[in-house]
Structure 1
């Protein structure tokens, strides 16, 4: 029998989902509590730093989960396959959510006001994703500077395509980015083998 996640874990998971859909500013504690099916007073117990603490932890958690996903996918296949898996995952999430669900880390990066630490955490997450991809490319012989450039291109292109897909209510941008990235990555790896 599986154990039900703690109220704190449910609140973090709920915050991540809500931030993906609405952004941080538009998500209230009441929204998080309702979605998490958590006791009303428990949110301040688990997040005494308020919404800022919740946003920081949710962004850090989401970033870490994506980093783990990237690294485990890279361990099973190459960078091109990993990016295709990520794009496929985001594509399904967009379609399943009727284009409401974006990237929770990007939601943190886009916030203004009192969320400077959240933006910093988002930046650190993007950097970690880039580093994982660049390392995998370098391990396949791609020169370090080219590997870093391709990794930055991949992360920023996917994040941009997610925004465009949501705005256009179409996965076409994501599909096109996926095809272009596959070609770029495969060409770089093939050139490194020669």
Structure 2
């Protein structure tokens, strides 16, 4: 059965997010999105009067919400170490399942020059800020000072994103596994040295 016409908007945004993570922003054209989604050409400017820039912007939001959901799911664990290990494992699974084709669509937008659509860089920055706040909250809940919580949150995001890029280039999970192990050890020491050891959870014997 063919997809309902009313689904075309959602399909186009999802396709754009998928193409961003696999091919980058420059290669995510309207034609490519239409071919991937199967949406009718006439739906483009009906649903996206702002054209390609609007479509990419909404795909960035969708992808940002998806990863935020992964962070939220990981941070439900009582043990902060377990939560971060789970977060890295989710990225590892995405890489392996996609045969190392799937990167981060937010990075795909952030690293490319978009002089004709500066809002894309702003949207990417907002997504990174949202992820950083979520991880900061996790560390604060586990008794780390606010300053260190914010620095660790930024470091985790930077480590994940950099490792994902390396994994795609090397077609292996070693960079991500190494980053996960180092951050695990870093958190062990950070939690051990926190001002009040009775706050939060997550230390290992």
- Common fold by TM > 0.5: yes
Give the structure with higher Rg (CA).
Answer: 2
1:39 and 2:73 matched: no
Aligned residues: 192
Calculate the TM-score normalised by the size of structure 1. Answer: 0.91
Alignment of 1:100-119 (within 5 A): 100-113=101-114, 114-119=116-121
C-alpha contact 1:16 1:59 (8 A) present in aligned 2: yes
* CA displacement, residues 52-102 of structure 1 (integer Å, 9 cap, x when unaligned): 101111111211221232123212344332322222222122222222110
* CA displacement, residues 144-185 of structure 1 (integer Å, 9 cap, x when unaligned): 111111111100000000111111111110000011111112
* CA displacement, residues 108-156 of structure 1 (integer Å, 9 cap, x when unaligned): 1112132321111111111111111111111111011111111111000
- Aligned position for 1:83: 84
C-alpha contact 2:74 2:87 (8 A) present in aligned 1: no
- Aligned position for 2:127: 125
1:41 is paired with a residue whose SS is helix
C-alpha contact 2:132 2:157 (8 A) present in aligned 1: yes
1:61 and 2:59 matched: no
Calculate the TM-score normalised by the size of structure 2. Answer: 0.86
Q: List structure 1 runs of 4+ shifted beyond 3 angstroms.
A: 76-79
Point out where structure 2 has 5 or more consecutive residues left out of the alignment: 199-205
- Aligned position for 1:17: 18
1:170 is paired with a residue whose SS is coil
**Aligned CA-pair RMSD:** 1.8
Q: Select the structure that is richer in helix.
A: 1
